[in-house]
Amino acid sequence: MPALWIRNARVIDPASKRDGTGDLFVRDGRLVARLSPAERKRARKIEAKGLVAAPGLVDIHVHFREPGQTHKETIGSGTRAAAAGGFTTVVCMPNTSPPADNAGTIQYILDAVRRDAVVKVLPTGCITIGMKGETLAPIGSLKRAGVVAITDDGDCVQSNELMRRAAEYARMFDLPVMDHCQDHSMTEGAVMNEGDVSIRLGLRGWPNAAEDLIVSRNVIISAYTGAHIHMQHISSARSVEIMRRAKADGVRVTAEATPHHIALTDAALSTYDTHFKMNPPLRTEADRQAIIAGLRDGTLDCVATDHAPHTDYEKDKEFDYAPNGILGLETALAVTLDVLVRQNRFRLSHVIDLMTAKPAALLGLPAGTLAEGAAADVCLFDPEETWTYNAKAGASKSSNSPWSGQTLRGRVHATLVDGRIAFALGAS
């Protein structure tokens, strides 16, 4: 593979505290400090004037639906969507069919990744067999098979005793526990946030307390066992405050926020559009502002998409019966830049950190930096370019996005994985 020379970009690498106009050099899939004059002459050159060169984005929460639900998404289509969004490393959830609760299913996923993926995909394994919350999955075998964390994402473990034992085993095998925080006894039949809007729309409400109770439980279990417990897609202001206090006490907990929870509120559901139906649900403006404040002060550690594809015919139902979830990979950067940089005056480098080095460090992944010797995983984007997102023309097999048809600001021009172009704007 010839050497690569990316020229005249604004290079932002929070991990190495680099922010300034410069060049990036790639040899044999790795970033190097310089190329020889002969290598520069032969190198493939990418003119990046006016673009930001950032580490490839890292998403620790995606659903690629393979095996078993490939009518919604596959490893191939999901990773093409990731590349189009600037992501070079993603972590996929185990709620497939069958669930990824054994080494054989993990091997199936890894085989599909080697065959079809255009970005790096790392699997998680289930906490419990079948994600039923009854019996622990073989955590040691899952670790040996290659998982980077365990989670029953979508089916929060309800038993405190079982969650305690899972945390103890996870600590033994040096695996984070990622938890979808939801007390099922409080959300049966619920379809949106409990509050004024749900009353007005006549829809069953989903209280913040269902999340807050499990976040509190996990903080206690983490403090008791010493395990690293990560809270997925935090949506409640009280949960943010619980996390803030836990971190101040030195408890080994982390948390993520999604682009949709920092951009939208339950007011968006006024037309009963199922593209705004998700789990956890969109909440109030006060909750939204609390999540943004949590990202600002480090209470919340990173941004993750919870990319959740569903087909048109699944979403095109009465609101109560449509599945939860939306696409996120192709729009995450633009939405996050708009909310955090333009509306809330975050530094651009801070936002890039939340989408690169921070999530990589959280799971100990070799990603999220442009340091010399690192893999040449690069996202080239124009933070000011406007474009209209068409979900049906996107890379995903599904199109369930609330941003389809909207004009967004901030556009990925190219995504490089190990120095190879995984996505280029305008390429067929």
Report the pLDDT averaged over residues 142-155: 96
CA 89 – CA 55 distance, rounded (Å): 10
Residue 420 has pLDDT above 80, yes or no: yes
**Interval 379-406 mean pLDDT:** 98
Q: Backbone phi, then psi, for 378, in 5-degree steps?
A: -135, 140
Average pLDDT (379-397) is 98
Query: What would the mean pLDDT of 243-254 be, rounded to a whole number?
Result: 98
Q: Where residue 1 falls among pLDDT bands split at 50, 70, 90?
A: confident
- Same fold? 4-52+375-396+405-424, 55-362: no
Fold of 55-362: TIM Barrel (3.20.20)
**Beta-carbon neighbour count of residue 34 at 10 Å?**
11
SS3 assignment, position 213 = helix
- Check residue 423 and give its pLDDT: 98
Task: Let me know: does 359 contact 60? Beta carbons within 8 Å.
Answer: yes
* CA neighbours closer than 13 Å in the CB half-sphere of residue 12: 23
Q: What is the DSSP string of 123-188?
A: E-B-SBGGG-SSSB--HHHHHHHT-S-EE-TTS----HHHHHHHHHHHHHTT--EEE----GGGTT
Please give the average per-residue pLDDT across 268-291, as a whole number.
98
| C-alpha torsion 239→240→246→247, nearest 10 | 160
- Active-site residue, selected from the candidate residues 155, 306, 338, 418: 306
Name the token pair of 259: 């682009």
Quote the DSSP letter at residue 316: S
What order of strands is seen across the sheet that includes strand 229-231? 150-151, 177-179, 229-231, 253-257, 302-303
Tokens for 408? 């967004």
Portion of the chain with pLDDT greater than 90, in percent = 99
- Reply yes or no on whether the pLDDT at 428 is more than 70: no
What is the distance between the terminal CA atoms of the chain, rounded to a whole angstrom?
22
4-52+375-396+405-424 homologous superfamily: Urease, subunit C, domain 1 (2.30.40.10)
Is 23 designated active site? no
Is the pLDDT assigned to residue 2 strictly greater than 90?
A: no
Give the containing element (helix H, strand E) for 358: helix 357-362
Residue 53's pLDDT band (cuts 50, 70, 90) = very high
The alpha carbon of 216 is separated from its chain's Cα centroid by a whole number of angstroms, namely 23
Q: What is the pLDDT of residue 277?
A: 98
Flag whether the pTM goes above 0.95. Answer: yes
Instruction: Give the pLDDT band of residue 427 (cuts 50, 70, 90).
Output: confident
pLDDT of 357 strictly over 90 = yes
Q: Domain locations in the chain? A: 4-52+375-396+405-424, 55-362
Q: What is the pLDDT of residue 123?
A: 98
